[in-house]
Structure 1
Amino acid sequence: MLNTIGVIGLGVMGGNLALNMADKGEHVGVYNYTSDLTDQLMEKLEGQTIRPFYNIEAFVQSLEKPRKIFLMVTAGRAIDEVIASLTPFLEEGDIIMDGGNSHYEDTERRYDELQGKGIRYLGIGISGGADGARTGPSIMPGGDREAYEQVASILTKIAAQVDGTPCCAYMGPRGAGHFVKMVHNGIEYADMQLITEAYTFLKDRLGLSVEDIADIFESWNQGELKSYLIEITADILRKKDDVTGLPLIDVILDKAGQKGTGKWTSIQAIDHGIPNSIITESLFARYLSSLKEERMNAETILSLPEIELQELDKEVWIEHIRQALYMGKICAYAQGFTQYKMTSEQYGWNLPLKDIALIFRGGCIIRAEFLNIISEAYEENYSLTNLLISPYFAEKTKEYQRNMRKVVCEGIQSGLSFPSLGASLTYYDSYRTGTSNASMIQAQRDYFGAHTYERNDIEGSFHTNWQE
């Protein structure tokens, strides 16, 4: 019997996806450039129909036509090398799917190259980590629509399911799938940083113990902040270090890593004139965290002004922080979905914003309760320019902004670093300001560079000789 799908790349993600496919009744052929990962996967089998191959031609020939090949290979040159090794054995109509974290522009290039050879290509965003790959991730396919229809039955089966609906939907043509995943990861950066700043205020300003903060996050996860990241934060705070007996969070070195997708999100926004300051500040916070030695030295030189901090009512301020975190999340998701909308309009992708929110409800890292509300907002008005002005979120920010301002001001006064909470509030205030201070910037540009300016009372472009 021929295999219904093949998987190349059997690291943790690829191996788990292959097992997931086999669990759902698919006959899966697998191949890896090093045989050790293939052998390790075969040792994990519990009756699933997975056939290993150690020769790429034999692997390709084992697949039913049109062949469906899923790549879980490191993004970059490795993807091109695998495609080059596959194409001599493929036929017109065969389908290659890239499930890695490829840059969407690389996906568009590969799509064009393979289309010229009659091979169909899908760039598929996958979110959920190793556990999601095994039990059901969020899946964001983009590329050849006809090819997607031929593999949809497999992808929707292996995806996470929420209320009987698979967390998988066609995103759009060419690189749309990988673009959606890229911005998902940017939102993830912002969400994580906002949570970290809330934790910092609870710990360093309110003086709460790690155990008490774990209880707070657990309680927050029962309400409107309910999400995967809030849930795991509570779990993280409860974990003890086996060596010292201390909370493990207290012995983890404060240097945060990143794999590039957050950077890509910020660069794309900058290149296309899209404001995503919260995501970008979250990225810069990780960069600054990596300067550990410099920060340790600076701590001995730089100081706060000598001020007397007032004791805060813990119960009152815990609620203030909850509201500030929720409003920060609203602003971060508003920026992410604005990036989806503006890029979709620029490229003519027609990204399904309502469906994007729905497929993020399960499997993925940013899955959260309020994604249902985001989906409803775009279902009611696809032309919505920004989530902040949807009725629900406009009312929430009206209700929560006062306490967010208190938290941001108190945190800054106390010497806490709030790059993302501060950026969220600045974004909100900038967006709600009908008449901004940009007139001064434009006047300066005209003064030193004769860049001209427009007037608010007369149409046309104008230049002033400012030194006359």
Structure 2
Amino acid sequence: MDIGIIGLGKMGRNMARRLIQGSHRVVGLDSSDEVTRQAAAEFGLDPVFSFTDLAAALPAPRAVWTMVPAGEPTEMVIRELSAVLQPGDLIVDGGNTYYKDDIRRAEMLQTSGIHHVDVGTSGGVWGLTEGYSLMAGGDAEDVEKVRPILESLAPAPDQGWGRVGPHGAGHFVKMVHNGIEYGLMQAYAEGFEILHAKKDFDLDVEKIARIWQTGSVVRSWLLDLIARALESDPDLESIRGWVADSGEGRWTVFESIDLDVPAPVITLSLQQRFSSRQEESYAAKLLAAMRNQFGGHAVKTKE
């Protein structure tokens, strides 16, 4: 199957490479012409350098997969694509879009006869070799049209992908997936910090991670990655404890509030990421000052 891919960052490139390995023809476009040329030279992607050229290079009905940042970049790409595509063509949004934007865009594109599918995509840098987990939202007929693409990107044709509901459902499910991921990651981080802090036992945290990889009820791919990270730097001295969030965790917390569903673990794990970005916490300083005021407790002052 022929497909266009817009956005040749690390994940977009890996997806294009996996599709080409699966005997699909991929026409690629990136905001950087140099990135597009490099991808063409590295693994046989057909390069184009404009939305018009992309449309001309694909047979009708066309399928175009976008892998660009959520928000205005995706908005711009879909707006420009809609100007060059024709009725019956299909846009697949594989980025981390907010699900309500999917619903709005699908309705907007429908007026031009252009179809839309949102695909929550998980797998990160390992997707090229391990395959991607793909959660598709949209009309069943449209998801079926890109079945060959989804089967090639997934770990196996019958595993790791599926239509989960109507427009917006794919990114909604991926949003909750990432919220769960936040909680899992925070639990692992706290547990390993306790292990690392028990200095009188001289615990080998990498060895413990390796032991837990087999047979343990807490074994997981995340644990495999922990063991890998600790192998070369068990004290993590080369890493700064600053943790970003890409938006899905926040959206999951907002949704839990809207639905009156308690989600304390996911919410607290998101808050912990905010804490990691503070060089010095004003709140912590104020707590110390209050303890000093009411109880005369000592405070640590700057030298």
TM-score of the pair, normalised by structure 1? 0.59
Shift of 1:248: 5.4
Match of 2:281, SS?
A: helix
- C-alpha distance in structure 1 between counterparts of 2:286 and 2:214, whole Å: 38
Tell me if structure 2 keeps the 8 A contact 1:143–1:173: yes
Counterpart of 1:335? none
Counterpart of 1:170? 163
Q: Are residues 1:271 and 2:263 paired?
A: no
Counterpart of 1:62? 57
Counterpart of 1:52? 47
> Deviations along 1:70-91, whole A, 9 cap, x unmatched?
0001110111111111112211
Alignment partner of 1:158 out of 127, 150, 153 = 153
Matched AA of 1:75: A
Alignment partner of 2:272 out of 285, 300, 311 = 285
Alignment partner of 2:141 out of 143, 146, 153 = 146
Counterpart of 1:10? 8
Listed as ranges, the matches of 1:48-447 within 5 Å are: 49-133=44-128, 135-161=130-156, 165-205=158-198, 207-209=200-202, 212-223=204-215, 224-240=217-233, 247=234, 249-294=236-281, 298=285, 301=288
Tell me if structure 1 keeps the 8 A contact 2:95–2:119: yes
Shift of 1:301: 4.3
Match of 1:250, SS?
A: coil
C-alpha RMSD of the superposition: 2.3
Match of 1:160, SS?
A: coil
Match of 1:124, SS?
A: strand
Tell me if structure 2 keeps the 8 A contact 1:136–1:159: yes
Match of 1:121, SS?
A: strand
Shift of 1:294: 2.2
Counterpart of 1:373? none
Instruction: Assess, with a 3 A threshold, how the Cα gap between structure 1 residues 231 and 60 changes in structure 2: closer, same or farther.
Output: same
Alignment partner of 2:25 out of 5, 24, 27 = 27
Shift of 1:104: 0.4
Shift of 1:93: 1.2
- C-alpha distance in structure 1 between counterparts of 2:200 and 2:147, whole Å: 51
Tell me if structure 1 keeps the 8 A contact 2:18–2:152: no
Match of 1:165, SS?
A: coil
Shift of 1:50: 2.1
Shift of 1:133: 4.4
Counterpart of 1:332? none
Match of 1:171, SS?
A: strand
TM-score of the pair, normalised by structure 2? 0.89
Instruction: Assess, with a 3 A threshold, how the Cα gap between structure 1 residues 54 and 274 changes in structure 2: closer, same or farther.
Output: same
- C-alpha distance in structure 1 between counterparts of 2:188 and 2:285, whole Å: 25
Shift of 1:198: 0.8
Shift of 1:33: 2.2
Unaligned runs of 5+ in 2: 292-303
Larger Rg over CA atoms? 1
Tell me how many residue pairs correspond in the alignment.
290
Instruction: Assess, with a 3 A threshold, how the Cα gap between structure 1 residues 296 and 216 changes in structure 2: closer, same or farther.
Output: farther
Matched AA of 2:31: Y
- C-alpha distance in structure 2 between counterparts of 1:271 and 1:198, whole Å: 31
> Deviations along 1:293-324, whole A, 9 cap, x unmatched?
2289749948x9xxxxxxxxxxxxxxxxxxxx
After the TM superposition, which parts of structure 1 deviate over 3 Å for at least 4 consecutive aligned residues? Answer: 205-210, 295-302
Match of 2:27, SS?
A: strand
- C-alpha distance in structure 2 between counterparts of 1:109 and 1:285, whole Å: 32
Tell me if structure 1 keeps the 8 A contact 2:4–2:58: yes
Unaligned runs of 5+ in 1: 241-246, 305-468
* Paired-residue identity, %: 35
- C-alpha distance in structure 1 between counterparts of 2:243 and 2:30, whole Å: 31
Match of 2:280, SS?
A: helix
Tell me if structure 2 keeps the 8 A contact 1:127–1:137: yes
- C-alpha distance in structure 1 between counterparts of 2:284 and 2:53, whole Å: 59
Tell me if structure 1 keeps the 8 A contact 2:121–2:132: yes
